């Protein structure tokens, strides 16, 4: 069984990827970065989601000697030229303050009419091997931005993005419903062919 390291300490991401690999019938020993506490977090200095995902995956693969998977994701608002983008988690100036990020974005879009509130969640997922081989894929979930948050599931900007074809926000979907259409779910599933090659 090939060990795969997921470059996150987020238990939700690990659970999600385990489910995707199980659906694909891939036999892998999947562990999160917390299994290697001596490996420091990688600074996301890239200017695209793909660059940041590759930075994290390569660093973990080199440090552990095992194949590593990483992702980077965020919200891209069309009227803002794709922002917040890679700055989604620190849009308000404080990294990880979901409420402040969401409130600032809503304030910036307050006067924007519904027909111009299109946006999408984007995710780049990368697989890196210790020998430097890499694969990176991307997934998107398009939708429109609500004027007010709604729902308590998920995190980040989930309460204001209503996916295309839905009447609910991402935060009003169940985890299973969201995973089936999400940017992260699409990206991880697109990595499955590359991961399956590891199983040989």
Q: Give the containing element (helix H, strand E) for 69.
A: strand 68-77
Return the pLDDT at 187.
94
Return the pLDDT at 200.
54
Of 29, 71, 72, 97, the catalytic one is 72
**Which pLDDT band holds residue 199 (cuts at 50, 70, 90)?**
low
Structural domains present in the chain: 2-199 (3.90.950.10)
**Tens-place pLDDT, residues 77-121:** 999 999 999 999 999 998 889 999 999 999 999 999 999 999 999
- Burial string for 14-50 (b: 16+ CB within 10 Å, else e) reads bebbeebbeebebebebebbeebeebeebebebeebb
* pTM, two decimal places: 0.91
**Tens-place pLDDT, residues 136-184:** 999 999 999 999 999 999 889 999 999 999 999 999 999 889 988 999 9
Is 38 annotated in the active site? no
């Amino acid at each position: 069984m090939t060990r795969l390291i997921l470059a996150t300490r987020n238990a939700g991401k690990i659970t999600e990827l385990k489910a995707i690999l199980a659906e694909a019938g891939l036999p892998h020993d999947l562990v999160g970065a917390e299994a290697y506490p001596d490996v420091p977090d990688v600074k996301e200095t890239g200017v695209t989601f793909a660059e940041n995902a590759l930075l994290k995956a390569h660093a973990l693969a080199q440090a552990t000697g095992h194949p590593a998977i990483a992702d980077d994701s965020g919200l891209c608002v069309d009227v803002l030229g794709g922002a917040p983008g890679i700055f989604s988690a620190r849009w308000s100036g404080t990294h990880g303050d979901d409420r402040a990020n969401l409130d600032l974005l809503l304030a910036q879009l307050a006067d924007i009419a519904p027909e111009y509130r299109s946006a999408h969640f984007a995710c780049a997922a990368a697989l890196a091997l210790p020998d430097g081989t890499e694969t990176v894929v991307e997934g998107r979930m398009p939708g429109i931005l609500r004027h007010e948050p709604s729902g308590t599931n998920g995190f980040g900007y989930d309460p204001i993005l209503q996916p295309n074809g839905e009447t609910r926000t991402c935060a009003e979907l169940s985890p299973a419903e969201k995973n089936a259409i999400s940017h992260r779910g699409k990206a991880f599933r697109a990595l499955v062919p590359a991961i399956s090659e590891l199983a040989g």
